[in-house]
Every structure is written in structure tokens, then in C-alpha cells.
Structure 1
Amino acid sequence: MKKIIWTFGVIAGIIAASFMVASTIACYRSAKFESSMLLGYTGMLIAFSFAYVGVKNYRDKFNNGAITFLRAFKIAGLITLIGCTFYVVVWMIEYYVFVPDFMEKFTAHELKQARESGLSQVELNKKIAEMEDWKKIYSNPLGLMLMTYLEPLPVAFVVTVATALLLKRKAQPGQVAI
């Protein structure tokens, strides 16, 4: 089971991190954060789909075609957690080494969007304060790490639950499902 978790977790991590790097490059070339975000989340979905492949592989090859919801959830969850960790580590390297000006560019983009949307000065001041809070969080490596985990974890959780629901299968008479 460990080999399956690590194999598919590393595959998921490489895919998620690759899409994230591609989305950062796209963002820096066009300054369109929205399309970069779409590319990043698409990559997460593709990457975390390997949790399905890993659970199915375990169920069919090593567990006589049966698996409980909890065991499937555990395997899928660990696979996606490894994928998330790759994503976070690569983003932290990318952020500190290659795009240390990311928060300045992101803040400028967000404030430009806010101004163009016609926000009142009070609402604009709230947005400015919000972006300053984000800068403070990102200035601390622990804050950066935790905030970065919050990006892929919701996608990972949905894929984990869906995988466990789709692949759970009761043991046939005479079989034992774990």
C-alpha cells in the first residue's frame, strides 16, 4: 500500500507542481492572474485524479477487488496530501527564488481591478488593508506555507471523497475487504 501511495502521490505532485509553474510563467508573461488560476486548478484536478488510479490499483490488484470507504479515503487522502506537499514546496522555492515580487504584482493587479470595478473609497480602503494583510502573511515562511496549502487542499478533499465513494466495493462472500 505504501508503494502505491508514494508512487501515485509523487506523480500527482509532479503534475500539480508543473501546472503551477506553468501558470506562474503564464501569469508573468500576460499579467492575467485569472487565466493562470484556471490553469493551476485544472492542473490540480488532473494531478489529484491519480488518487483514483492509485486506489483502484490497490483495490483490484492487492485487495481482491474490494475496499471500504475508509480505506479508499485514507489511500486517496495520502496520495493527494503528497501532491499538495509537492505543490507547496515548489511554490515556496518559486516564490522566494524566482518571483519574489509576486505579492507586489498581485496586489497591484487586485487594486487595479477594484478601482476599475467602481468601488467606493471606503470599500477600496478595505481592499487595500486586506492586501496588506496578505503581504504580512506571505512575508512569513510559515504563513506562506499554510496559505499555499489552502489552495490545493479543497480540490484534494473533493477528489478524495469522490474517489472513495466511486471505488468502495463490498467484499464478495468469502472475501475480506480492508
Structure 2
Amino acid sequence: MKATVKKYGLYALGIALVIFFLGLYFGKELSFKTQEVIGYTTMAVSLIPIYFGIKHYRDYENNGAVNFKEGFIIGILIALCAAIGFAIIDFLFVSYIYPEFPQDYLAYSIDNINASDIPADQKIKDIADAKEMMKTYGTPSFGAILMFSMVFIFGIIISLISALTLQRKSN
């Protein structure tokens, strides 16, 4: 099991590091909406090794059998590798490559609030809330933790689905 987790965990980590970095670096000029789509797509692609890792373990290391628990553990550990990759890149990107990101995203959020059809007093409250949240949560460390959490949660879901679909009892 360790060999499978290392191999496919490194695949997930590598995919996360390379594709997420490329998406962030070359996507800086794109709209935040487009960047969001690229980010979620990158998450999905970096978590593909979960399925293939569980399948590899079942087919090549465990004589064609894997129970749900084993598959889920393998998936979680591979997801952990991808989540770490995303957190590292997010932290480095916001700390060194695009430190203006929190302020730019706040401006984008304020523009969206102003363009919405909500009453003026609600807009004022929402803008104040957005500014307060940015003071509290707009740090590279928090962004990295948030990115780690999102990828890991998606990884748990993919691990559950993969472990359920790939489980097979030994003959």
C-alpha cells in the first residue's frame, strides 16, 4: 500500500504543483470567474490519481481485491498529497508572485456587490463585511489553509466514490 500511495501521491502532488502554478501564473490577466473555472478544473485533474492509485493497488498489489476501507485510506492519502501541493503553490503565489491578489479580489467582490440588485443599505453592509473579512482572512497563510481544505474535501469525496466503485472481494 505504501508504494502505491507514494507513487500516486507524487503524481497528484506533481500535477497540483505544475498545473495550478501554471494556471495561476498565466491566468493573472484573466477574469476571476475564468480563474475560478481553471482552479476547479485543476483540482479535479490533480485528484484523478486517487482512482488510478486505488485501481493499481487492487489489480497489481493485492491480487485483484480491495475492500472499501483500504481503498478509502489510499484515496485519502493521495488526496492529502494533492492538497499539500495546492496549499504550497497558493501560499507562494500570494506571498511572492501576486501579493496584490487579496486587494484585487476585494475590488472584484465590491464591484459584484455594487452591480447586484440588492437594496443600497444591504450593499453598504455587504461591502463593509467584505472589507472586514479581507482584513481577517486575506493573508497568504489563510488562503493556503483554505485551498488545502477545499482540495482535501474534494479528495475525500473522490476517495469515497472510487473506493465504492473499485472495491472487490478476493476469490
1:44 aligns to what SS in structure 2?
A: helix
Q: What's the secondary structure of 1:171's corresponding residue?
A: coil
Whole-Å separation in 2 of the counterparts to 1:130 and 1:171: 56
Q: Which residues of 2 match residues 39-50 of structure 1 at below 5 A?
A: 39-50=38-49
C-alpha displacement of 1:117: 1.8
Describe the superposition over 1:105-154 as per-residue Cα deviations: whole angstroms up to 9, x where unpaired: 0011111111112332232233223322133223372x333222233123
Task: Give the distance between the partners of 1:135 and 1:2, measured in 2 at CA.
Answer: 42
Q: Could you tell me how far 1:26 is from its partner in structure 2?
A: 4.6
Change (3 A) 1:140 1:37: closer
TM-score normalised by structure 2 residue count = 0.90
| One-letter amino acid of the counterpart of residue 22, structure 1 | L
Gaps of 5+ in 2: none
1:45-124 correspondence runs (5 A): 45-124=44-123
Gap change, CA 1:123 and 1:10, over 3 Å in 2: farther
Deviation string 1:74-117 (CA, Å, 9 cap, x unpaired) is 00110011110111011101110101110100011111111112
* Structure 2 equivalent of residue 17 of structure 1: 17
Question: Under a length normalisation based on structure 1, what TM-score does the superposition of the two structures give?
Answer: 0.87
Distance 1:3 1:135 in 2: 43
Is 2:94–2:140's contact at 8 Å kept on the other side of the alignment? Answer: no
Residue 138 of structure 2 is aligned to residue 138 of structure 1: yes
Could you tell me the percent identity over the aligned residues? Answer: 24
Structure 1 segments (4+ residues) deviating >6 Å: none
User: Which one is further off, 13-22 or 86-95?
Assistant: 13-22
1:152 aligned counterpart, secondary structure: helix
Q: Counterpart of 1:36?
A: 35
**How many Å apart are 1:34 and its aligned residue?**
1.1
